Structure 1
């Protein structure tokens, strides 16, 4: 059982490492801090709940079952962290968020203190590593301590389920899927862990033996809940990294064309640089290179290619992209040959600089990736294959 619990703790802990790659920046973000604190506390709960850890803690302290209030206190702290995460996730005025967080911490702080006091008052001299909840279900003070931590944990999981259901209706894509995974994990935690233990404890009160629900059923379901919650936390970030990696690759033709004139600082290299960081560096460097090449834009090239593409029946947006790709290719050739700027040079905004994000740059890169098949852009031919259209643009303006 300890191996399963330690594995769940490892998965939970690695989630926080993957979510927070830049600790200094993350510490300035309350949402990032609350997310990682809740995940780390969840990992500590699994570590503390492992029978091997319980035996070691009991031996080090010399107090039988000292691991019980330690584990239950960690569960209460984790439940509080989950609610704080939800408060920060929902957002709102900072004074209101701060008040709600302080109230939540105060309530669960009292709960942790009550767990410790009840354990101190109880008579729990027999060490139990796997069935403490059911073994001491009828023991004064221990009974109340067990019920308190179960009710406190159940409340936070049910609130998390309700909030995830509400938010999942307002968002879409990977975030909605992530919320559903978190909701499924919280539901399994509430039903599979808390409810199973409550039924086992109630059975002891009634004189029956359903200890297997607490010792055999609850721990694996808690591990499964942790796995689902971890997947829910990671999914939006993983999808964003995958899309960044795809955009980084699609920008390669454009970067290969303009990299020689870019004056942006060289990006840091290393395996630890994730796709989003690499994409950000490439995007900044490309925009810098476009500014350098702007004086070399020959609008006669652009107009010839655009008119040729329109006559060939291409949509205006595709014709504009083809014309800008041809003009940019010609500008890069002039800059590399150290030629003088053309007489028709003037101020012009590329479509890629008019839209936010990397979408415009990707379109331009794909237009470069499909060069004219017969005549070079310098000769005024339109590309034989153009990139896909996203929207109908306004007419290009030449100052």
Structure 2
């Protein structure tokens, strides 16, 4: 069982690290902080609940079953953080958000204290690493502690589900998908974890033995439910960024033919080389460097080359737009060849404005690069050594 919960903890911790990649920016956003805290608390709960961790905690403290109030206290704090996260996620007037957050903390903070106090009052001298809930189901104070942490978690999951269902009727798209994932994870938690725990504990009260529900069914169900809930919270925030970075990487690679033609003349300062640099950052630098190179090559642009290529493209039956891009690619290729050979600029440089410089973003440059990719490259010299 330790392997299952450790794996869940690792996945949650990895999600938290991805969200908190830039601490200076993240700490200014309450939503990012609350998401990070919630996912991190979930990871800590799973880590603490593993039998190996429980044994280590008990051994270090010298108190049998000390890992139980630690885990249950963390689970109660995690339950509170789920509600706080959803409050921040939904947004609204700052005063309302602060009021709801204070209410959630005011309810769950005493629960954490009560869990610790009840454990201190109980007689739990026999260490139980996997079946503590059922073994001590009839023990005074331990019984109340177990029921209390379960009720606190049930209240949080029920509230979370109700808020998500209500909000889900008002939104569409990826946000609704995320809310549905949260509800699915919450339902799995209610049925797979909490209901099995309640059933096993009540069975002990009535003299029956259904401990396998608590020890064998509940832990993996809780892990799966937490992962689904976390996906619901993280997906609407990370997926758009991931899609943006994927498109940035695609455009960055698509610009390679254009960059190979003009990169030698660009004098744009290079960004610091780092393996963790995001694709969109790389794309932005390449766009800037290419535009810098196009300005440097402007004195070599020859309208005669462009007009001949334009006439030839039209003769081949190309559309006006495609013919324009082909002619601009031909003019750029000729200019890069002259600059690489250190020839003099043309007597009357073209005043034609490239389509790639008329529109914002990388779309125009990518279109030009694709045309250049179908034509032979020219020999160029070391980057930054040619200044027009």
Q: Is TM > 0.5 for Structure 1 vs Structure 2?
A: yes
Find the residue that maps to 2:276 and give its secondary structure. coil
Give the superposition deviation at 1:26: 2.7
Contact 1:352 1:364 in 2 (8 A): no
Q: Are 2:319 and 1:315 aligned?
A: yes
Aligned residue number for residue 142 of structure 1? 142
Find the residue that maps to 2:173 and give its secondary structure. coil
Distance in structure 1 (CA, Å) of the matches to 2:343 and 2:335: 10
Q: 1:23 to 1:154 in 2, by over 3 A?
A: same
Distance in structure 2 (CA, Å) of the matches to 1:210 and 1:366: 66
| RMSD of equivalent CA atoms | 3.4
Find the residue that maps to 1:21 and give its secondary structure. coil
Aligned residue number for residue 396 of structure 1? none
Aligned residue number for residue 366 of structure 1? 370
2:277 to 256, 267, 273: 273
Distance in structure 1 (CA, Å) of the matches to 2:20 and 2:32: 7
Query: 1:185-224, aligned counterparts within 5 Å?
Result: 185-224=185-224
Contact 1:267 1:281 in 2 (8 A): yes
Give the superposition deviation at 1:311: 4.9
Find the residue that maps to 1:348 and give its secondary structure. coil
Describe the superposition over 1:181-226 as per-residue Cα deviations: whole angstroms up to 9, x where unpaired: 5554444333322222122223333433222111100111222234
Aligned residue number for residue 288 of structure 2? 284
Distance in structure 1 (CA, Å) of the matches to 2:324 and 2:159: 52
Give the superposition deviation at 1:70: 0.8
Aligned residue number for residue 11 of structure 2? 11
Aligned residue number for residue 89 of structure 1? 89
Find the residue that maps to 1:222 and give its secondary structure. helix
Describe the superposition over 1:309-365 as per-residue Cα deviations: whole angstroms up to 9, x where unpaired: 445443344334333333333343344335325525337363455134x33332222
1:171 to 173, 186, 206: 173
Describe the superposition over 1:274-330 as per-residue Cα deviations: whole angstroms up to 9, x where unpaired: 434433332332333334344544455445544544454433443343333333333
Q: 1:351 to 1:279 in 2, by over 3 A?
A: closer
Aligned residue number for residue 127 of structure 1? 127
Query: 1:27-42, aligned counterparts within 5 Å?
Result: 27-42=27-42
Distance in structure 2 (CA, Å) of the matches to 1:167 and 1:370: 50
Q: 1:142 to 1:168 in 2, by over 3 A?
A: farther
Distance in structure 2 (CA, Å) of the matches to 1:297 and 1:94: 56
Distance in structure 2 (CA, Å) of the matches to 1:45 and 1:158: 19
Q: Count residues in correspondence.
A: 371
Give the superposition deviation at 1:126: 3.2
Find the residue that maps to 1:272 and give its secondary structure. coil
Distance in structure 2 (CA, Å) of the matches to 1:103 and 1:239: 37
For structure 2, which runs of at least 5 residues remain unmatched after alignment?
Answer: 379-388
Q: 1:132 to 1:325 in 2, by over 3 A?
A: same
Query: 1:238-249, aligned counterparts within 5 Å?
Result: 238-249=242-253
TM-score when scaled to structure 2?
Answer: 0.80
Contact 2:258 2:369 in 1 (8 A): yes
Distance in structure 2 (CA, Å) of the matches to 1:302 and 1:182: 58
TM-score when scaled to structure 1?
Answer: 0.78
Query: 1:369-380, aligned counterparts within 5 Å?
Result: 369-371=373-375
Describe the superposition over 1:261-281 as per-residue Cα deviations: whole angstroms up to 9, x where unpaired: 222221333433343443333
Give the superposition deviation at 1:372: 8.6
